[in-house]
Amino acid sequence: MLRIGQGLRRKADIMAGQTGGKQPTINDVAALAGVSKKTVSRVINRSEFISEKTRKAVQQAIETLGFVPNPQARALAFRRNFLIALLHDNPNAQTVLGFQQGVLDAIKDSDLALLVRPVDRGSDRMLDDVRTFLEKQRPIGAMLLPPISENDELAALCESLGVRYVRVGSAPLDDPQHCVSSNDHDVVKEAVRKLVDLGHRRIGFVRGPEGFRSAAEREKGFHEALAEAGLSLADDHYAPGNYRYTAGIEAGEKLLALAEPPTAIFCSNDEMAAGVMSVAHSKGVAVPGRLSIIGFDDSPTATHIWPALSTVRWPIRQMGVRAAQLLVPDFLGSGAKAIDADPAALTSTFVERQSVAPPGR
């Protein structure tokens, strides 16, 4: 009797202490469950060396108190923070945010949180900056978005700091366990073949920036598709670019000023395609009547311009999910695994809209 009375009183005290403003700690739980804090810790971390009976009791106490382990304390003891870092240096908001969304979808039910960190590709302090960041934040893992994902030193840095990493790219950059990649090369071939099948013979190309793997992959796919059709790219049908709208303008002005302009232009991304399309409009060149245009990304721009742009849908959000699954499979709840059981969800696909037609004549 007395014993029970004491027990009850103690429980009341604990509850009172807890409601007294602050969060319950592992000590409160331990006291309430009548076990040591280490045992509570074992329950939290799903240790296998624990009897079903005590596990139940501890669970019960945890729920009664509404106890949530303090991530800062765990981070200190584990010498690792329950965070994922997203490192990016990407001109394209849509890409970054789409990917970010995917990652967040995946980690929604986990204990992880997402830390976003832009890095300055140009700076020669870049590596040091990232090292400092990783040493300070000690995330479980880091995700590298293109173009910095192509930097091997960065990957090596993560490796050496014991930070897991995943590199996102347009083609495999690393071993499969560190890499989420799309099939830019193949799908560009498919898109260009489409143009050829419609009867286009003079096809222009607007390239992405030097130093971007994606730009190289897309160019390769383009050339191969032409080659397979027995065609080749005329020198004056090529325009350099940098994935920006203004580059599209310049490219459009160059290509459409030719005595014999291309009847179709493949642009390495949607923004540049939008630029080319503007030039066509302002020169009175009908799209798709006299000029077909294809972009890449399926960004919002693709559907916001008129006529709607045929483009390549890059499953960026899905890639975010996949990247998280690859990076921290052991932290994700079962929900996250269900998110993409479908491997096909990761393939880029050609989306036909209104900017493509047979060559006018």
- Residues forming the site for DNA (CB under 7 A): 22-23, 25-27, 34-42, 44-45, 48-51, 53-55, 67-70, 73-74, 76-79
Amino acid in the structure at residue 47: S
- Is 75 or 234 the residue whose CB approaches a copy of itself more closely? 75
Binding to a copy of itself (CB under 8 A) within 131-160 occurs at 132-133, 135-138
From the CB of 61, what's the least distance to DNA, in Å? Answer: 12
With binding defined as CB under 8 A, does residue 72 bind a copy of itself?
yes
Alpha-carbon gap, residue 16 to 87, rounded angstroms: 44
With binding defined as CB under 8 A, does residue 295 bind a copy of itself?
no
- Is 170 or 301 the residue whose CB approaches a copy of itself more closely? 301
With binding defined as CB under 8 A, does residue 126 bind a copy of itself?
no
With binding defined as CB under 8 A, does residue 101 bind a copy of itself?
yes
Residue 286 binds which of a copy of itself, DNA, none (CB < 5-8 A, kind-dependent): none
From the CB of 72, what's the least distance to a copy of itself, in Å? Answer: 4
From the CB of 102, what's the least distance to a copy of itself, in Å? Answer: 11
**Residue from 8, 12, 116, 227 binding a copy of itself (CB under 8 A):** 116
Residue 93 binds which of a copy of itself, DNA, none (CB < 5-8 A, kind-dependent): a copy of itself
- Is 129 or 197 the residue whose CB approaches a copy of itself more closely? 129
Tell me the window of 95-103, 140-148, 202-210, 322-330 that interacts with a copy of itself (CB under 8 A). 95-103
- Is 132 or 354 the residue whose CB approaches DNA more closely? 132
Report helix angle 37-44 to 26-33, nearest 10.
110
- Is 40 or 142 the residue whose CB approaches DNA more closely? 40
- Is 43 or 226 the residue whose CB approaches a copy of itself more closely? 43
With binding defined as CB under 8 A, does residue 81 bind a copy of itself?
yes
Alpha-carbon gap, residue 276 to 115, rounded angstroms: 37
Q: How far is CA 291 from CA 122, 144, 223, 225, 235, in A?
A: 37, 37, 20, 19, 19
Query: Where do we find the tokens 């990957």?
Result: 155
Tell me the window of 39-47, 106-114, 179-187, 230-238 that interacts with a copy of itself (CB under 8 A). 106-114
- Is 23 or 246 the residue whose CB approaches DNA more closely? 23
With binding defined as CB under 8 A, does residue 118 bind a copy of itself?
yes
Per-residue three-class SS string for the chain: CHHHHHHHHHHHHHHHHHHCCCCCCHHHHHHHHCCCHHHHHHHHCCCCCCCHHHHHHHHHHHHHHCCCCCHHHHHHHHCCEEEEEEEECCCCHHHHHHHHHHHHHHHCCCCCEEEEEECCCCCCCHHHHHHHHHHHHCEEEEEECCCHHHCHHHHHHHHHHCCEEEEEECCCCCCHHHEEECCHHHHHHHHHHHHHHHCCCCEEEECCCCCCHHHHHHHHHHHHHHHHCCCCCCHHHEECCCCCHHHHHHHHHHHHCCCCCCCEEEECCHHHHHHHHHHHHHHCCCCCCCCEEECCECCHHHHHCCCCCEEEECCHHHHHHHHHHHHCCCCCCHHHHHHCCCHHHHCCEEECCCCCCCCCC
- Is 221 or 241 the residue whose CB approaches a copy of itself more closely? 241
Binding to a copy of itself (CB under 8 A) within 176-235 occurs at none
- Is 77 or 338 the residue whose CB approaches DNA more closely? 77
Q: Site residues (CB under 8 A) for a copy of itself? A: 23, 68, 70-73, 75-76, 81, 93-94, 96-98, 100-101, 104, 111, 113-118, 132-133, 135-138, 245, 271, 274-275, 277-278, 281-282, 300-301, 303-308
